């Protein structure tokens, strides 16, 4: 019986020594993982582009009327006089609202406000709105 206990103790001590001798772990990475990561980055870019298309900003409310013809003539006049501004005509029963521009800052909108008031003397205001921004524009990195 004593030799059996001696053999078990000897085997146990050898096992402990064998575990402490291996200090290095070798990891073999599959090169396809890098391709998967790159593909996921591209997918994230495409799927989040829509979320970056809109931001809080300001527009100029040009006209708020229930007369459809008046709203369309105001939109035409805006296109003729200010071709650089994008016009948004919305119908919210019972009125038509014509808003123009995509301004990030209120000060940008104020520059156009006085010019638009020359053509539409009453009811022209700067209003906060969700504006369109160009998602492809790269903002300068600091």
Task: Indicate the pTM of the whole model.
Answer: 0.61
What confidence score (pLDDT) does residue 136 get? 52
Q: What is the mean pLDDT of residues 6-26?
A: 63
Percent of the chain predicted with pLDDT > 70: 77
Please check the confidence at residue 49 and state whether its pLDDT lies above 50: yes
Residue whose pair of structure tokens reads 């650089």 in the numeric block:
84
Write out pLDDT tens, residues 35-45: 999 999 998 88
Q: Give me the torsion for CA of 41, 46, 47, 53, rounded to 10°.
A: 130
Long-range contacts for 50-54 (Cβ within 8 Å, ≥24 apart)? 50/135, 52/133, 52/135, 53/132, 53/133, 53/134, 53/135, 54/130, 54/131, 54/132, 54/133
Compute the average pLDDT of residues 106-131: 91
Confidence of residue 55 (pLDDT cuts 50, 70, 90): confident
The pLDDT-based confidence of 20 (bands split at 50, 70, 90) is low
Q: How distant, in Å, are the alpha carbons of 17, 20, 52, 91, 129 from that of 55?
A: 64, 58, 7, 22, 9
Q: CA torsion 52→55→60→65, rounded to 10°? A: 90
Cα 37 from Cα 101, distance rounded (Å):
39
125-to-60, 61, 121 alpha-carbon distances in Å: 6, 5, 11
What pLDDT digit, counting tens, does each position of 61-90 carry?
999 999 999 999 999 999 999 999 999 999
**How high is the pLDDT of residue 95?**
93
């Amino acid at each position: 019986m004593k030799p059996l206990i001696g053999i078990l103790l000897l085997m146990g001590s050898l096992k402990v020594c064998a575990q402490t001798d291996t200090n290095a772990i070798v990891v073999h990475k599959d090169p396809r993982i890098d391709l998967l990561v790159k593909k996921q980055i591209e997918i994230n870019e495409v799927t989040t582009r829509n979320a970056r298309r809109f931001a809080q900003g300001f527009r100029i409310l040009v006209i708020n009327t229930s007369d459809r013809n008046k709203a369309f003539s105001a939109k035409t006049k805006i296109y003729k006089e200010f071709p650089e501004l994008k016009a948004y005509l919305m119908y919210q029963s019972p009125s038509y609202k014509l808003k123009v521009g995509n301004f990030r800052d209120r000060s940008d909108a104020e520059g156009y406000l006085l010019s638009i008031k020359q053509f539409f003397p009453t009811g022209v205001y700067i209003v906060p709105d969700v504006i369109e921004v160009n998602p492809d524009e790269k903002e300068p990195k600091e």
